[in-house]
């Protein structure tokens, strides 16, 4: 079967660990991938030292984008917001363990874009955040 | 008995013979996005570049004469292919999108005013939607839409009510790129004319797949692209009735579109040259002419009949798959396009898994976001067929979809 759909990705797509919404939350952000209609929202709770205590995502998307969101949120639990700001495309690709073409890369990076726009407190998520 | 000799036709297309990975042949089901190109089209462009390449019009030397003759011969081929009364009504441009934008920019700006009604349909792709939204915002036009029914047809009863608004323009897709619906263009045009409206037919999907006769349709404008009908990218056509084209102001200004230029003024050239500013896509026009010769050689009636067989068969096979839902009408009302959802599996995942079997389909909203919103789905997977596709390929698609279900089910 296709390398893109490694067991890890299929598993996290079917059985996500960090799926849900946090209400109240300290940081929330959502955005779409207009190419494919994917939509991801990420909610964070942060303690007084800017450490992420809880992180959940919601929305709809393909296996790559949803598995990527779930794996990403796993890595941010307990992280300082400053450490989240420096996460990059390479971190996501390493986490997924696959190579992606330009179209699917947008799927994989949507959750990072949403997360960083939220952490930076931006009004709009820009592709520059994940370049 | 086959209507056309598909096995022989397949040999004409170099890409059709390629493998995606060793041992995995390409199954190309994305011709609605762009078709593959037969060798005769590539050769025609090659011969032009290798033997005659020169800029057209006004040149005196041999190459310029050959290039001009070849470019204008391509225009005659287009005229014959769509049964236009005159080559003067054939304007070359980049594609359907540019052709529609040109009509909005020139005819629209000089004929429409605040409050005028423009009728479009809910099944338009973005290129017959956004140009009118832009013009509508500029001139304060009233855009109205012929609704799409649950089974993917235009609601013609509602269309006739809309005509009472005395629209100035009715612009509609001849064949939907998502639903495949073939709209009753002749009736739509006749009713529009009775109501005093000008008509624009978006032929991006119909001209490649059906016999289209602009004289019989009595269309005022017809727009289509070369690359969806075995021709190269970068060349498209706007057909317009000569009296309309003559009355319209020019589009882009520059060389070739002028008769006379002074420092502060110009006199535009006669049609169609008035709308072809700058050096055009000469090789591509010649390639499009070769594509039309190729399609004519097989016969558009036969191509359409063959596609009807393959879409009927494909839909029957696809509908055997539990959880698969096809959008659009039954095969007798549509071209060879099947857009579908499979359970709640994302179309990107469907398309990606199919690609691993060499099957090329499209996933997304196919440049028709409002139509997808109408059916309340973010995206679909679309398989589309052309003259080089076989029923065996439809079977492979079905096998591939069962694999998708196994993986994500």
Q: Does B346 touch chain A (CB under 8 A)?
A: yes
Locate B232 and state its tokens. Answer: 């190269």
Chain A residues in contact with B348 (beta carbon < 8 A): 36, 62-64, 104, 107
Distance CA(B179)–CA(B327), nearest Å, equals: 6
CATH number at residue B309: 3.90.1150.10
More confident residue, A61 or B10: B10
Last residue of a domain, one of B251, B280, B297: B297
Pair B268, B323 in one domain: no
Closest in B349, B365, B378 to A63, CB measured = B349
Chain A residues in contact with B365 (beta carbon < 8 A): 36-37
| Cβ within 8 Å of residue B278, ≥6 positions away | B252, B254, B255, B256
Residue B35 lies in a domain: no
What is the CB neighbour count within 10 angstroms for residue B19? Answer: 10
| Cβ within 8 Å of residue B245, ≥6 positions away | B88, B89, B91, B271, B272, B274, B275
Locate B35 and state its tokens. Answer: 């078709």
Locate B244 and state its tokens. Answer: 């309309």
Pair B275, B324 in one domain: no
Question: Residue B65 belongs to what domain range?
Answer: 42-297
Active site residue B367: yes
pTM to 2 decimal places:
0.92
Q: C-alpha distances in angstroms, B80 versus B89, B90, B168, B186, B191?
A: 12, 10, 29, 19, 26
Give the pLDDT confidence of B165-207 residue by residue, as tens digits.
999 999 999 999 999 999 999 999 999 999 999 999 999 999 9
* B350, containing H or E segment: helix B347-356
Residue B102 lies in a domain: yes
> Which residue, among B314, B396, B316, B310, has the nearest Cα to B353 in the 3D structure?
B396
Pair B368, B292 in one domain: no
Distance CA(A98)–CA(B279), nearest Å, equals: 45
Last residue of a domain, one of B297, B325, B352: B297
Helix, strand, or coil (residue B21): strand
Give the pLDDT confidence of B217-265 residue by residue, as tens digits.
999 999 999 999 999 999 999 999 999 999 999 999 998 898 888 999 9
Tell me the pairing of strands A52-60 and B266-268. unpaired
At the second CATH level, the architecture of A3-120 is: Alpha-Beta Complex (3.90)
Nearest CA in chain A to B354: A2
Residue B49 lies in a domain: yes
Pair B168, B270 in one domain: yes
Locate A32 and state its tokens. Answer: 């779409």
Helix, strand, or coil (residue B305): helix
* B102, containing H or E segment: helix B96-103
Residue with tokens 């309340």: B376
Query: At residue A25, what are phi and psi to the nearest 5 degrees?
Result: -140, 170
Give the pLDDT confidence of B308-350 residue by residue, as tens digits.
999 999 999 999 999 999 999 999 999 999 999 999 999 999 9
Number of domains into which chain B is organized: 2
Domain ranges of chain A: 3-120
Q: What is the mean pLDDT of residues B126-151?
A: 97
pLDDT exceeds 80 at position A4: no
Distance CA(B96)–CA(B180), nearest Å, equals: 17
Distance CA(B380)–CA(B326), nearest Å, equals: 9
Last residue of a domain, one of B263, B282, B297: B297
Give the pLDDT confidence of B362-395 residue by residue, as tens digits.
998 877 888 888 888 878 999 999 999 999 999 9
Pair B143, B258 in one domain: yes
CATH number at residue B232: 3.40.640.10
Residue B37 lies in a domain: no
Residue B1 lies in a domain: no
Pair B209, B310 in one domain: no
Task: Tell me how close the Cα of A48 comes to any Cα of chain B, in angstroms.
Answer: 39
| Terminal CA-CA length for chain A | 30
Q: Residue B345 pairs with which residues in a beta bridge?
A: B342
The answer to whether residues B97 and B82 touch, using CB atoms and an 8 Å cutoff, is: no
Pair B324, B360 in one domain: yes
How would DSSP label each residue in B22-74?
Answer: TTEE-EE-BTTT-----HHHHHHHHHIIIII----SS--SHHHHHHHHHHHHH
Pair B291, B306 in one domain: no
The answer to whether residues B64 and B54 touch, using CB atoms and an 8 Å cutoff, is: yes
* B348, containing H or E segment: helix B347-356
| The pLDDT of residue A2 | 55
Chain B residues in contact with A36 (beta carbon < 8 A): 346-348, 363-365, 378-379
- Report ipTM (2 d.p.): 0.81
């Amino acid at each position: 079967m296709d390398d893109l759909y490694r067991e890890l990705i299929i598993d996290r797509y079917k059985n996500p660990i960090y799926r849900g919404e946090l209400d109240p939350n300290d940081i929330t952000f959502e955005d779409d991938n207009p190419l494919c209609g994917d939509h991801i929202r990420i909610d964070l709770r942060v303690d007084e030292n800017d450490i992420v205590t809880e992180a959940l995502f919601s929305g709809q998307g393909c296996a790559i984008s949803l598995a990527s969101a779930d794996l990403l949120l796993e890595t941010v639990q307990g992280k300082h917001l400053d450490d989240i700001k420096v996460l990059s495309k390479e971190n996501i690709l390493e986490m997924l363990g696959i190579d992606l073409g330009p179209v699917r890369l947008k799927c994989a990076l949507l959750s990072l874009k949403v997360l960083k726009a939220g952490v930076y407190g931006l009004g709009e998520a820009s592709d520059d955040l994940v370049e | 008995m086959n209507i056309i000799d598909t096995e022989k036709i397949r040999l004409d297309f170099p890409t059709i013979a390629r493998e995606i990975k060793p041992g995995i042949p390409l199954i190309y089901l994305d011709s609605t996005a762009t078709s593959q190109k037969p060798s005769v089209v590539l050769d025609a462009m090659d011969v032009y570049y290798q033997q005659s390449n020169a800029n057209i019009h006004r040149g005196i030397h041999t190459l310029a004469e050959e290039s001009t003759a070849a470019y204008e011969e391509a225009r005659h081929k287009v005229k014959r292919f769509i049964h236009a009364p005159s080559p003067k009504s054939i304007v070359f441009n980049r594609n359907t999108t540019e052709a529609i934008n040109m009509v909005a920019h020139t005819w629209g700006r000089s004929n429409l005013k605040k409050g005028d009604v423009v009728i479009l349909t809910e099944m338009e792709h973005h290129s017959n939607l956004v140009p009118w939204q832009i013009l509508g915002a500029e001139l304060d036009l009233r855009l109205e839409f012929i609704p799409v029914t649950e089974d993917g047809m235009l609601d013609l009863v509602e269309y006739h009510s809309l005509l009472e608004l005395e629209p100035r323009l009715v612009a509609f897709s001849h064949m939907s790129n998502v639903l495949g619906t073939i709209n009753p263009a002749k009736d739509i045009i006749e009713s529009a004319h009775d109501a005093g409206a000008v008509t624009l037919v978006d032929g991006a999907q119909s001209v490649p797949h059906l016999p289209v006769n602009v004289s019989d349709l009595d269309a005022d404008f017809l727009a289509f692209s070369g690359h969806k009908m075995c021709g190269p990218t970068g060349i498209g056509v706007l057909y317009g009735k000569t009296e309309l084209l003559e009355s319209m102001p020019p589009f882009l200004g520059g060389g070739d579109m002028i008769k006379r230029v002074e420092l502060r003024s110009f006199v535009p050239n006669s049609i169609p040259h008035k709308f072809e500013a700058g050096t055009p896509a000469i090789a591509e026009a010649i390639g499009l002419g070769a594509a039309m010769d190729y399609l004519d050689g097989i016969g558009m009636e036969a191509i359409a009949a063959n596609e009807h067989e393959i879409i009927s068969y494909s839909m029957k096979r696809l509908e055997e798959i539990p959880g698969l839902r096809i959008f659009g009408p039954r095969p007798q009302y549509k071209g060879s396009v099947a857009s579908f959802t499979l359970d709640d599996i994302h179309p990107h995942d469907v398309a990606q898994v199919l690609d691993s079997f060499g099957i090329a389909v499209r996933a997304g909203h196919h440049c028709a976001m409002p139509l997808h919103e109408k059916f309340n789905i973010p995206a679909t997977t679309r398989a589309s067929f052309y003259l080089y596709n076989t029923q065996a390929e439809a079977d492979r698609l079905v096998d591939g979809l069962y694999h998708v279900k196994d993986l994500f089910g």
